[in-house]
Chain A
Amino acid sequence: MCLGVPGKVLAIEGLVATVDFFGVRKELRLDIVDEPVTVGDYVLNHVGYAIRRIPPGEVQETLALFEQILDVSGAREDLMAADVRGEIAAGQATATVRAKA
């Protein structure tokens, strides 16, 4: 329902932050963000408002959670192997189109 995109805070002036979204910058309002925000933080943007400061460690935490979910649900393969396969798959996307022809 609500489009949210994460970006990195470059500067703050009062209740307005300049945020970088991978090469596009936009000013966001900080009126309703859940925690104090400082330069360098990641925030989630929704309709021009920062709605959440994403604490630095929590991205890793979510990834760890996926692994935990997989573990609980039963046997699973070696994660390293999966990682390597993922990277290969991403790198070869173009190659696949041609190979399939």
Chain B
Amino acid sequence: MSRDLTLELKFRDPARARELAEAMQRNLDAIGREVSVMHVCGSHEQAIARFGLRAVLPRQLRLIMGPGCPVCVTDGPEVDEAVALARQGVHVCTYGDMLRLPGTSRSLADAQGDGGKVHVVYSVDQAVELARAHPADEVVFFASGFETTAVATAAVALTAVPENFSILSVHKYVPAAMDLVAESKESKIEGFVAAGHAAIITGWGIFEPFARKTGTPVVVAGFEPLDILAAIVKLTELIRDRKAEVFNAYPRCVTREGSQPAQQTLWKVFETRTGKWRGIAAVPGGNLDLRAGLAHLDARKRFRIDTVPVRDDEASGLERECLCGTIMMGLAMPHDCPLFGKACVPESPVGACMVSSEGTCRIWHTYGGAPDLRAVGAAST
């Protein structure tokens, strides 16, 4: 066994997972009713799905996927900007997740098909290298992700990058989304599982004023199965005891203060601004924009981005009917949406919940509801 046991396998132990699920059940029995909690992290959803954790959660627990995927919440018109740049002959580099994300009418994958110079990169450094290799061409990095990813973009912005390199930022800021959900009057969310990797940067202390203000407990969680289950046990315990506290269940990575070098880098380069999140709302402080002093690196200032030829205003109109925001607050189900399965399908999604393979609407569309697999395979043995 060459993989380091202490680092991984211990966090995937099925026996311990069962114990944690039982502890969760006891907490829910003590509460005595259905409880809705939200995680605000696409990677949590990926891990929950990948390991099949929904099948071990108690039935009275509704674990709702919040606006936690920075790719899904990137708005159609923002994608249009990148598509327009590719159409204008600029090299557009972006992370793999963004390639097929639709704009109001086209994705970068479509732009690539139309002959646009679109490149998938794993790291922003590859975009800088491309700019170095093609000094006569313009290279734009279409920068997506939450603050964790934004820090990497920021680090590059502070180094000596070539003249022909610039950034189109659609970075998003997590704490803003939690505020939005918690402040909604009808929200049924009684607790939050906070994103561990974002908290590495910001520190868990950032959630303290939030918990006080909203009266909702927050547990910071890692991404291994036991990390997530332990965090939910703790969260249900705090709900049972009516304690609006912040608990750090990911101490091997997250500290109270977070990473000072990363925060300094982040705020030197970015500032928050209100941004429209796909299918949700205008989120105050939800977008990260390059600061005014860095105009030479800001693709929006450097180019006249003409989105008219690639924009479909009718499609953006459809979005007004999208219920993603309500679904994420636990107040509606996909079939409540008039567009579900009609104007909104995985090939041309309207809202964020239809974009990601783990989005609520996407799962309902693919599988005809939320599948309950607890007993599958047991009967045919």
Contacts and interface: CB of A to CB of B under 8 A. Distances in A.
- Chain A–chain B contact at Cβ < 8 A: yes
Interface of A: 1-4, 6, 8, 22-23, 29, 31-34, 42, 44, 46-49, 51-52, 54-55, 58-63, 65-66, 69-70, 72-74, 76-77, 82-83, 85-86, 89-90, 100-101
Interface string B244-259: 0000011111010011
Interface in B127-154: 145-146, 148-149, 151-152, 154
Given A22-B2, A47-B145, A69-B233, 18 more contacts: A1-B148, A2-B148, A2-B195, A4-B197, A32-B261, A33-B262, A34-B261, A47-B149, A61-B252, A65-B249, A70-B19, A70-B233, A73-B24, A76-B22, A82-B13, A86-B15, A86-B16, A90-B13
Given A31-B155, A52-B200, A2 B43 contact: yes
Nearest to B39: A1
Given A1-B195, A4-B223, A52 B7 contact: no
A61 B124 contact: no
Most chain A CB neighbours (cut-off 10 Å) among B23, B223, B258: B23
A20 to B, nearest CB: 10
A49 B124 CA distance: 10
A28 to B, nearest CB: 9
Given A1-B70, A6-B7, A44-B200, A62 B250 contact: yes
B197 A49 contact: no
Please provide the 6 A-B residue pairs with the shortest distance between their CB atoms, ordered closest to farther. A48-B123, A34-B259, A58-B252, A73-B23, A86-B15, A2-B197
Interface size class of B (residues with CB under 8 A): 35 or more
B167 interface: no
Contacts of B6: 59-60
A35 to B, nearest CB: 8
B197 A63 contact: no
Contacts of A85: 15
B263 to A, nearest CB: 9
24 contacts: A1-B42, A1-B68, A1-B146, A32-B154, A32-B259, A42-B7, A44-B197, A46-B197, A51-B201, A52-B253, A54-B252, A54-B253, A58-B251, A59-B252, A61-B252, A65-B230, A66-B16, A66-B230, A69-B20, A73-B233, A74-B26, A86-B13, A86-B16, A90-B13
A23 B27 CA distance: 41
A53 to B, nearest CB: 10
A78 to B, nearest CB: 11
A60 B6 CA distance: 8
B69 A1 contact: yes
A33 B7 contact: no
Given A1-B43, A73-B26, A73-B237, A47 B7 contact: no
Interface string B1-25: 0111011111101111001101110
B226 interface: yes
Contacts of A83: 13, 15
B316 interface: no
B325 to A, nearest CB: 18
A70 B23 contact: yes
A31 B262 CA distance: 8
A32 B123 contact: no
Nearest to B248: A65
Contacts of B159: 31
A4 B174 CA distance: 17
A69 B145 contact: no
Contacts of A49: 123, 151-152, 155
Most chain A CB neighbours (cut-off 10 Å) among B11, B253, B262: B253
Contact of A69 (B13, B122, B230): B230
Given A48-B122, A73-B23, A23 B146 contact: no
B236 to A, nearest CB: 8
B125 interface: yes
B124 A47 contact: yes
A51 B200 contact: yes
B260 interface: yes
